[in-house]
């Protein structure tokens, strides 16, 4: 890593009601980010539409798109025009009956620099992702860009320290998480607070354990369950940028669209890893049981 600092931006958005409206909002956000001097922009998970996994419907598969395709073409064109590194998040149609939740990286070019397919797929009330997404098969491989090696992961991946660690071991210089997570409106406030705090804490822990800056971009706003079975999801926003000791560099609010901009000191990772040499002290000779589902 030769550069010292990097200005980053996170575009925390609501669903605008249509694919074109969402892409229009993304274009406006990317232009604002570029005007603010950002070089790297992270978008939220599945940003082209609503979070459709609240219910199971075969018609939803019609919304998936090929990669490359029309969605990547528009964002790639903007990345090239604005000279931005952009991390996007799409519902990928790989083949009939084979779909992924896929992050796509553009490096100041309309060409795709790399992709990551979400590895951990949840199946919980209001988050029925296993119906839609095949688990990723590209592994935990960082994507090389002009601003550094990006360890791109997606939403549910953020609860797994193994994912962040494997990205770090492969040379990632930043960890990035496009995300869609929120509250069940029926939960008590204390439970809502615990869930949001846990989400923030576990990701800050990944930054600390690996000595890396971390960017997490979540959506915001209420989205109803189209089936009317569930209570909908109130996405809690709270997008943030953390440094390699888990320190907040910037944090968005819970309930508003926001372009979050932060300056990341990339040189600090080297310093932090020298005073906290977690990679040095790993007992790789004693971790074989991590490959087991459970120790009976």
pLDDT tens sequence for the chain (296 residues): 456 899 999 999 999 999 999 999 999 999 999 999 999 999 999 999 999 999 999 999 999 999 999 989 999 999 999 999 999 999 999 999 999 999 999 999 999 999 999 999 999 999 999 999 999 999 999 999 999 999 999 999 999 999 999 999 999 999 999 999 999 999 999 999 999 999 999 999 999 999 999 999 999 999 999 999 999 999 999 999 999 999 999 999 999 999 999 999 999 999 999 999 999 999 999 999 999 999 98
* φ/ψ of residue 93, rounded to 5: -95, 105
Q: Name the domain count of the chain.
A: 1
DSSP for residue 65: B
Q: In whole angstroms, what is the distance from residue 218 CA to residue 215 CA? A: 10
Tell me the catalytic residues: 45, 118, 155
Domain that holds residue 124: 5-277
In a domain, 284, yes or no: no
Using DSSP's 3-state secondary structure scheme, residue 42 falls into: strand
Residue 234 belongs to some domain of the structure: yes
> Would 254 be classed as within a structural domain?
yes
64 lies in a domain? Answer: yes
Handedness of CA 260, 180, 248, 279 (dihedral sign): negative
pLDDT given at position 2: 58
Exposure class string for 94-125: b at 16+ Cβ within 10 A, else e: eeeeebbbbbbbbbbbbebbbbbbbbbbbeee
Sheet holding 240-242, edge to edge: 143-145, 148-152, 174-179, 214-218, 240-242, 248-251
- Within a domain: 294: no
14: domain CATH number? 3.60.110.10
Indicate whether 71 belongs to any domain.
yes
Q: Is residue 68 part of a domain?
A: yes
Contact yes or no for 170/140 (Cβ under 8 A):
yes
In this structure, is residue 287 part of a structural domain? no
Residues linked to residue 98 through DSSP beta bridges, in sequence order: 95
SS3 (DSSP) at 68: coil
């Amino acid at each position: 890593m030769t550069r010292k600092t990097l200005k980053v931006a996170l575009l925390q958005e609501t669903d605008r009601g249509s694919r074109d409206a969402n892409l229009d909002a993304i274009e406006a956000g990317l232009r604002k980010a570029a005007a603010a001097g950002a070089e790297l922009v992270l978008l939220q998970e599945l940003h082209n539409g609503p979070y459709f996994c609240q219910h199971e419907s075969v018609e939803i598969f019609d919304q998936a798109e090929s990669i490359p395709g029309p969605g990547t073409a528009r964002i790639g064109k903007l990345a090239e025009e604005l000279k931005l590194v952009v991390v996007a998040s799409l519902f990928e149609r790989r083949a009939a009956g084979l779909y992924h939740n896929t992050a796509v990286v553009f490096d100041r070019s309309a060409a795709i620099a790399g992709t990551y397919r979400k590895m951990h797929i949840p199946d919980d009330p209001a988050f029925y992702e296993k119906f839609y997404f095949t688990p990723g098969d590209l592994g935990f491989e960082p994507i090389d860009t002009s601003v550094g090696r990006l360890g791109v992961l997606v939403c549910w991946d953020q609860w797994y320290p193994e994912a962040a660690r494997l990205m770090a071991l492969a040379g990632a210089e930043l960890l990035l998480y496009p995300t869609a997570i929120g509250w069940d409106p029926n939960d008590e406030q204390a439970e809502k607070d615990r869930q949001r705090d846990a989400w923030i804490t576990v990701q800050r822990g990944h930054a600390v354990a690996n000595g890396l800056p971390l960017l997490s971009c979540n959506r915001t706003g209420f989205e109803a369950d189209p089936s009317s079975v569930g209570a909908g999801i109130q996405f809690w926003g709270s997008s943030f940028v953390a440094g390699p000791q888990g320190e907040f560099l910037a944090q968005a609010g819970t309930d508003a669209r926001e372009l979050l901009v932060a300056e990341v000191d990339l040189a600090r990772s080297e310093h932090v890893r020298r005073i906290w040499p977690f990679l040095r002290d790993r007992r790789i000779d004693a971790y074989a049981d991590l490959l087991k589902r459970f120790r009976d």
